[in-house]
Structure 1
């Protein structure tokens, strides 16, 4: 089936966004966040309504389709891909009362959500909710967020699981302390609350039972978050391989040695890395596509299938990082300079595999489920 005129126009707009991103990514890295004007551009492309409930004006994208868009962005700039990936995470809010959700989307479906759940901080019960105090880390994208989430303790009603508490960012202090080697532009700053009261109806359990009856809200929420972060690494690795193949074809050695493309170890190493990334990526998208087909057919995603989604996400993040490291190791002394393009990609590739959702522990947890045991980590789906 060919593209419609609307599809073509949408594709043109996406390509134009990527072209602007290529021009501005250094700006974002230097200021350590993606600014509101560029996030507004992502909004216009529908990335922040892709997981909004359709009853509130959302335009659902199947997860794999959303993930492919994030991968393309990340191939230009990993930090912007990371921030854009939070367009998937409105599914977290599906367990909120419908009245609360209606208020969240009262100004339209394009809502930018950011979260800083940990470390869980003090919350004193009040008549209407909780009085919240504390400091939370890693609030990626908070500089352009419409609403943010902080972590507070659970109680008997949550089976001990911590709550997420939603608050407008202007009620918190944003501490700009993001000084890192990778994903510098994500704006993953700290959030600070001092005696901020939050109504109980604005709190939720991450991964809690949704009150929205739509297919996307039956897709495992925490798994979708893990996939959305993992696919950023695939884009970063793609950028490294594209760079390596172009460099190999064009650069001569300053020592008079054969050019990179004339060295067997370089050709073989880059080809091996290409195969590794494409293999991990195929497993990742296969698991996402199969899950969506199950939901579209009115069936639920089973525990074994969820384990494959978690495993493929962790494996993609690890493989992508290994691919970028391999490219650097093959690229000679040019890659050791701070301003070499591979240095930024190397730092960006490090970050996704370090996220708790994508850590090596996911291999053990997935293996346990595939062998009929309980997952060995909490919040596995």
Structure 2
């Protein structure tokens, strides 16, 4: 039926009400036979329809390797770039179609094409698309074909890490760490992002490849300090168990006030069990016990007193613990004030 119409000279490179050409519709129906007929009777394999797409992009969208091969064999441009400055190879990577990706590269698709956003100055090489796909074989294929990419550049590493933090799998990350990214090119800000995104799995991979666990971010915070600040118990526990320096927290003791405010007693216990200085002071002379009193954390106060915090501590402005309790709690938190006062008095008597 279709061939009869084509033999009679029916217009073949036309666009329907949806902006699609005849060949595009045939491709979306996955009909290799009809696509072959259309090309035989003059359909242009590079015809740009009303949606500004060539037949090749429709074939890629349908993941039809046979139609892709047919179109390329009849002159379709493997390096087509659309109005959004995205190449057909980039679309094939997005569709996660490894056979089509390989075929396009083997037939001239530019593996080093850089996608430049039409709305910003952002530039994305195809290796970013491959990493975003979450498919390790696609990443490996592009690298096997010698895709140009500077894995020593810290901005590039940061961008890759940002992409991989959204991928629950670790295979691409581990492959790149083993084969492409030097562990010594990681910096503290990269590790900070990893901790903020709760990626203990990726942190373990880095440590297995000899990451320096004392790397500092731009503010001088070590991974342990960052993990404590974000109250991430699993990462804190892991870092302490592999030897992270607890003394870093003694230098940034104010970080722990946030933890105490949020009543993270279990986290505090782990830190103290790993020799956190319970009498460490911040720049204003505040201690862990003062933080707990100011935030009315009764059980934390009792725990700190049990582990030997200095109950007779007096700040340089002559503020004792009793005065601090009165100043912060008496007016608006009378019940808590009384409880804290009684606890302090009880432990003072025990010391007599």
- TM-score for the superposition, normalised by structure 1: 0.19
More helix by proportion, 1 or 2? 1
- TM-score for the superposition, normalised by structure 2: 0.20
Structure of greater relative contact order (alpha carbons < 8 Å, 6+ residues apart): 1
Larger Rg: 2
